[in-house]
Amino acid sequence: MRRKLSELNMILLTYSRLSHLLRMSGSKASIFRNGTEMKHGAGCCVQLKRFQGMQSNGSINKKGLQDRQKQQMARGLPKQKPIRDVKQVIVVASGKGGVGKSTTAVNLALGLMAIDKSKSVGLLDADIYGPSIPKLMNLKGNPELNDDNRMIPLINYGVPCMSMGFLVPDTSPIVWRGLMVMSAIERLLRQVEWGSLDYLVVDMPPGTGDVQLSITQNIPIAGAVIVSTPQDVALLDARRGAEMFRKLNVPVLGLVQNMSVFQCPNCHHHTHIFGSNGAKQLAETISVKFLGDVPLHLNIRETSDKGQPIVISSPDSPEAEAYRKVASAVIQNLEELTR
């Protein structure tokens, strides 16, 4: 029988998970203190002496050391496990906040459905501290639980959505430390009943921190879309974001240049407020695809604030067409990767 998941229940579940992790880490720490740590300490001394001897003889095998370091680092990484019934995961990221990433993620998801109505698309808001999907998708309320205690996404415009914003009041700040955030991300990834999805679009938080690392290491990702304005300051962080995904072996599907140009509603004069073609030039520099331009337009802002994304509310507008072109380029690049 379905039942409402209240804010209190979510907090209790999160704290329960946190307590479990702390108990596990505490027991592991005692094991290390009881013996393993001492053995490792003795081994380190032996290795240090050997290293000093090799150094004095000038015969250090640098490649061997690097190989051993990679092996030790790999042991600590979690094994990737697909999300149940989800075929492909697309993450939408930006190195900097305020570049229109969430708006792009929402319209990308709707654009994917508009291009092929037979495809099912879900939307996951992974921005724990600043969830935007509830506002952009005009969704409110707490998700219900099914018989397996899995959260059932809220649906609008045919897109199932999940966000931390459904679990806390609109005006309540989420003041959590890293471990609790990781616990919430784990629940959003593993404890949601998405049903059968062709694409799951993940709205990532800005930056290159713990959440990005946790998601990319825990689930297989088909590709990443990087959103940036043409401004130099935003492009610096966009490049960092692209390099992060490359280091984590996540394909970068391309760059979206958001707020590329402003057209005066009166005289129709074009003004490049944030610069011209910066993201396009960056894409060429780092050898990734350029997915397209999205203009700085009043209609995009107004429809987003109303919770009526422009791909749905004004499908024939040039702005909606810009998002559909981005979605088409994403599909094309995904197909190229799977050939």
Q: What is the mean pLDDT of residues 208-231?
A: 91
Residue 56 inside a domain? The answer is: no
Residue 102 inside a domain? The answer is: yes
Task: Express each pLDDT in 114-125 by its tens digit.
Answer: 999 999 999 999
Asked if residue 18 has pLDDT above 50, the reply is: no
Residue 315 inside a domain? The answer is: yes
- Structure tokens that stand for 128 in this block: 């724990």
Asked if residue 86 has pLDDT above 50, the reply is: yes
Read off φ and ψ for residue 123, nearest 5 degrees: -135, 120
Asked if residue 317 has pLDDT above 60, the reply is: yes
Asked if residue 35 has pLDDT above 70, the reply is: no
Asked if residue 315 has pLDDT above 90, the reply is: yes
Residue 24 inside a domain? The answer is: no
Residue 217 inside a domain? The answer is: yes
Give the CATH number of the domain where residue 98 resides.
3.40.50.300
Residue 258 inside a domain? The answer is: yes
Cα atoms found within 13 Å of the Cα of residue 211, Cβ hemisphere only = 25
Residue 162: CB atoms within 10 Å: 28
Domain with 274 in it: 86-338
Q: CA torsion angle for 183, 185, 187, 190 (degrees, to 10)? A: -130
The answer to whether 131 and 95 have CB atoms below 8 angstroms apart is no
Please report which confidence band the pLDDT of residue 13 belongs to, taking 50, 70 and 90 as the band edges: low
What CA–CA distances, in Å, run from 142 to 18, 53, 109, 154, 194?
22, 64, 22, 8, 16
Q: What does the alpha-carbon distance between residue 211 and residue 185 come to, in Å, rounded to a whole number? A: 7
Residue 238 inside a domain? The answer is: yes
Residue 62 inside a domain? The answer is: no
Please report which confidence band the pLDDT of residue 39 belongs to, taking 50, 70 and 90 as the band edges: very low
Task: Express each pLDDT in 136-146 by its tens digit.
Answer: 999 999 999 99
Single-letter amino acid code for the residue at 172:
S
Domains: count for the chain = 1
SS3 201: strand
Asked if residue 61 has pLDDT above 70, the reply is: no
The answer to whether 221 and 195 have CB atoms below 8 angstroms apart is no
